[in-house]
A and B are shown apart, each in its own frame.
Chain A
Amino acid sequence: MTIAVRAESITKTFNGTQKALDQVNLSVNHGEVLVVMGPSGSGKSTLIRTFNGLEAIDAGQLEIVGIPLDTDQDERQIRRIRRRVGMVFQQFNLFPHLSILDNITLAPIRVKKVSKANAEQRAHGLLAQMGIADQAMKYPAELSGGQQQRVAIARALAMDPELMLFDEPTSALDPERVKEVLDAMRRLAADGMTMIVVTHELGFAREVADRVLFMDAGRVVELTDSTTFFTQAKEERSRRFLNQMAH
């Protein structure tokens, strides 16, 4: 098994004092689904944002899909990683002035130099896979939140990533729209995609995650297989969090 993410005592400090990541160690295998949980401000977003260079680490070592990501970030190196790592945001971040189709084909055509015809064919396939085949010619504002997030997933998948990062992909959605996005993610996991998912969806975590990473105050509190995490979490802090979430 090859390694998708290898992090060795990575540290990230904001404004000189705020330790968002404190000596985090983690290794994620290809084909694995890792769910990241923890209270607000514990560093979950910061962690996965270092994995595609949106945040630079201050210390430690990071290797993503085999490419080292040093503390002094080299733009070309970061782009090599980003071409192979997809990211899905809480706020979708679709390009509002581009059609759904153009949102999805922009990067494949301009970054991977895929022909327009091939990129569009692939985009239609991905939209079908996401259950929104008929939305290609619309603009983002014409879609529901759940549909927009599925377009965002399709947009990331269009680059054929080896690793997908999700930062609370359902937190901005109406409750009745959460399921359609989670279902799309379930199918993705079943297809063998390597996924790191920050989420508060316990059901999804229990069902789909291979392992759960629980963070607090920038530190790894617990990193264990999901069955163990949900039935007999070792740490008091994790158990308390699970208890709160269940109510």
Chain B
Amino acid sequence: MKWKRSRWLELALVVVVLTLVGILVNNLAVNLIRTGLGLSFEWLWQPAGFALSEHTLPYQPGDSTAWALLVSWLNSLRVIACSIVLATVLGVGAGAARRSLNPLLRQLAGLYVGLIRQIPLLLQLLFWYFVAFLGLPSQPFAPIGTLISLSNQGVGILGLNLSVEFSAVLVGLSVFTGAAIAEVVRGGLDSVPRGQWEAFRSLGINEGLGLRRVVLPQALPAILPALSSQYLNLAKNSTLAIAVGYADLYAVSDTAITQTGRAIEGFLILLLSFLALNLLINGGMQVLNRIVVHPAQRT
């Protein structure tokens, strides 16, 4: 059997990485023994002792730390999933708008993408939390019918009550990632030959329909891989939720680590949780890829 050079390179890389990891683990073990700490996960089953500002499953401070971590992981999952949906809507809209025939739409979308990408995400999250949401009046008001009610106590959408913290993280992550997705979508649209646009236009098909039925389906093979890396970025960036006091996995792990002093174990759990999250996103994207990308276009 003949192996390609890239295969050998891959193997060499794996060996190097494994060696490094081995050295690291060895160091860790030696240090743990020396300090007399030893790896232990017993603390996970002790009462957490701290409150969580929001939880989708029943939770009280007397529950175990493990339960607190699980509940906070669900908080992360919730805000990440909602942000992925909202960011995709924003991004596809803005990306398509950048190739619209309407010059005003084009400029607005260009402004959005240009502005948002200039400002660090942390700053944007702080803005949404402290300026936008906490700046709302304390009495709820409904800007568009009964659909949405806004106040500095929380946001109500179709009877659903969202905390101010959740809303700030959701909007912050979505607006930020939406701008990046807009660029991905624009690049994807540009990868479709001009002749395809001219062909649908020549048939009297309008821009919206042409985009949906002709151009986007052909742009997807170029868009999807970049899109999933934007989703992974979003998931990683969600850890900044700690800055506005949203009880996400990272924030709660941080509290637990501080209380128990179990930094190594805590980070291990964090690491595995995010690994699971990324695998989830990757798996989802692969399923999506199989559904929406036409067999003839798969590479």
Q: Which A residues have a C-beta under 8 Å from some C-beta of B?
A: 52-54, 75, 79, 82-83, 85-87, 89, 91, 93-97, 106-107, 110-111, 139, 141, 155-156, 159
Contacts and interface: CB of A to CB of B under 8 A. Distances in A.
A141 B295 CA distance: 12
13 contacts: A79-B204, A83-B204, A87-B198, A87-B202, A97-B217, A97-B294, A97-B297, A106-B214, A107-B204, A107-B205, A139-B296, A141-B296, A156-B202
A11 to B, nearest CB: 22
B203 A54 contact: no
A93 B296 contact: no
B297 A52 contact: no
A54 to B, nearest CB: 6
A101 to B, nearest CB: 14
Interface residues of B, number: 21
Contacts of B213: 106, 110
Contact of B198 (A54, A83, A96, A97): A54
Given A89-B195, A89-B198, A96 B297 contact: yes
Nearest to A79: B204
B202 A91 contact: no
A111 B204 CA distance: 7
Contacts of B203: 82, 106-107, 111, 155-156, 159
A97 B200 CA distance: 13
A97 B204 contact: no
**A53, A106, A159: residue with the most chain B Cβ atoms closer than 10 Å:** A106
B206 A79 contact: yes
**B202, B213, B218, B296: residue with the most chain A Cβ atoms closer than 10 Å:** B202
B295 to A, nearest CB: 9
A54 B202 contact: yes
B233 to A, nearest CB: 29
B272 interface: no
Interface in B14-61: none
Contact of B214 (A95, A111, A155): A95
B197 to A, nearest CB: 9
A49 B214 CA distance: 20
A82 B203 CA distance: 6
Given A97-B217, A156-B203, 19 more contacts: A52-B202, A79-B204, A82-B202, A87-B198, A87-B202, A89-B195, A89-B198, A93-B193, A93-B196, A95-B214, A97-B296, A106-B213, A106-B214, A107-B205, A110-B209, A141-B296, A155-B203, A156-B202, A159-B204
List the 10 shortest-distance A-B pairs measured between CB atoms, nearest first: A93-B199, A83-B204, A107-B203, A93-B195, A82-B204, A87-B202, A97-B294, A111-B204, A97-B217, A79-B204
Contacts of A93: 193, 195-196, 198-199
B201 interface: yes
Given A97-B217, A110-B209, A110-B213, A54 B201 contact: yes
